[in-house]
Amino acid sequence: MLQIEIDRLNKHYAGFHALKDIDIAIPQGSFVALVGPSGCGKSTLLRTLAGLEKTSSGDIRIAGTSVIAKPPRERDVAMVFQSYALYPHMDVEHNMNYSLRLKRRPKPEILERTRAAAETLGLGNLLGRLPKALSGGQRQRVAMGRAIVRNPKVFLFDEPLSNLDAALRVHMRSEIRKLHERLGATSVYVTHDQVEAMTMADHIVVMRAGVVEQQGSPLDLYDRPANKFVAGFIGSPAMNFIPVTSGADGQSLTIEGDAQSLMPGRNLAPGARLWAGLRPEHLSFTPVKDGVALDAVVEAVESTGSMTFVTAVLGPHHLIVAHGGRPGVERGATVRLHIAPENIHLFDRETELAIS
């Protein structure tokens, strides 16, 4: 069953087209991440779902009913903001059950729902504290508690972890994901962090300049990016791109500014101007089965301990190689980089669309 359907949605601010013909269908219970660079329209889309922004055209349906004309409180959605938006003068309990008190729910029900949410979030012993006496992670939990007590059909998250330090962010990612599974609700999560999207979501929507560039499962986007933008956005470190031209035989790719060529194992139109996309983790210092090889000179070696990132130069091009462990290569050395032909992504240089 589809929980959220967004059909040809457009949003104009005064003189600015912020959302362009957005189509997204979200099944009940799924965790959807909206990702894209700053200003692409993620927050605007989330706010239109919440009813905090008016739309210019198109429709939004939640559980089959159009909500486009409904105010936020009638949409059965709850939003968790980046700023947490807690009331500073109310303790945790009153922050959490504010919406229920506003709706004048019976007292025993308010108590029970607050208690249940506090238990779920491990906030039971903090109910009497004011927000200023909480850590960042605890405030984040209270903000989620406020959403949970409302028992909404849909949770909307607007970069909820961006104010937390790196370690807590990683911890809260899995907490939010577990919570999502336990509650069985549908979640839409805005982030500019593609790693967060890849690790949390079942379905990722990649946006750029108000347009949905591609949507699908995390591995779908990683394995089959529809265009150069998505290929460069999904994956960390980012995909390497080198400009190539296909030879008269339609088999080999000559690298611009370098004498070497690549054989991607596909038939191509002769003379096609393309980008070859090579993921850092697909480049190997040791031969791979049926692989092709390129010679390059090591310019820099950076190690995190478990991973080593090597910058290798090939003519005017720089390639990042991600190697699990220590590859034992040094700056200035000539290395041979191997890649399996099926891991060579190709994009048209005019349209930037993927070529299969």
Q: What angle do CA 297, 303, 309 make, to 5 degrees?
A: 45
Nearer to ligand ATP, 19 or 283 (CB): 19
Q: What angle do CA 158, 159, 162 make, to 5 degrees?
A: 150
Nearer to ligand ATP, 232 or 243 (CB): 232
Nearer to ligand ATP, 53 or 91 (CB): 53
Nearer to ligand ATP, 13 or 87 (CB): 13
Are residues 30 and 12 in contact, defined by beta-carbon separation less than 8 angstroms? no
DSSP class of residue 238 equals P
Nearer to ligand ATP, 93 or 159 (CB): 159
Residue 13 Cβ vs ligand ATP, minimum distance, rounded to whole Å = 3
CA distances (Å), origin 314, targets 14, 291, 298, 320: 47, 18, 9, 11
Report residue 305 as tokens.
């301990």
Residue 29 Cβ vs ligand ATP, minimum distance, rounded to whole Å = 25
Nearer to ligand ATP, 9 or 294 (CB): 9
Buried b / exposed e over 195-233, threshold 16 CB at 10 Å, is ebbbebbebbbbbbebebbbbbebeebbeebbbbbbbbb
Residue 205 Cβ vs ligand ATP, minimum distance, rounded to whole Å = 12
* 44: three-class secondary structure by DSSP: helix
Query: What is the DSSP track for 278-321?
Result: E-GGG-BSS--TT-EEEEEEEEEEEE-SSEEEEEEEETTEEEEE
In the complex, which residues of this chain contact ligand ATP (CB under 6 A)?
A: 13, 16, 18, 36, 38-44, 192
Residue 50 Cβ vs ligand ATP, minimum distance, rounded to whole Å = 12
Residue 15 Cβ vs ligand ATP, minimum distance, rounded to whole Å = 8
Report residue 109 as tokens.
């029900």
Residue 46 Cβ vs ligand ATP, minimum distance, rounded to whole Å = 8
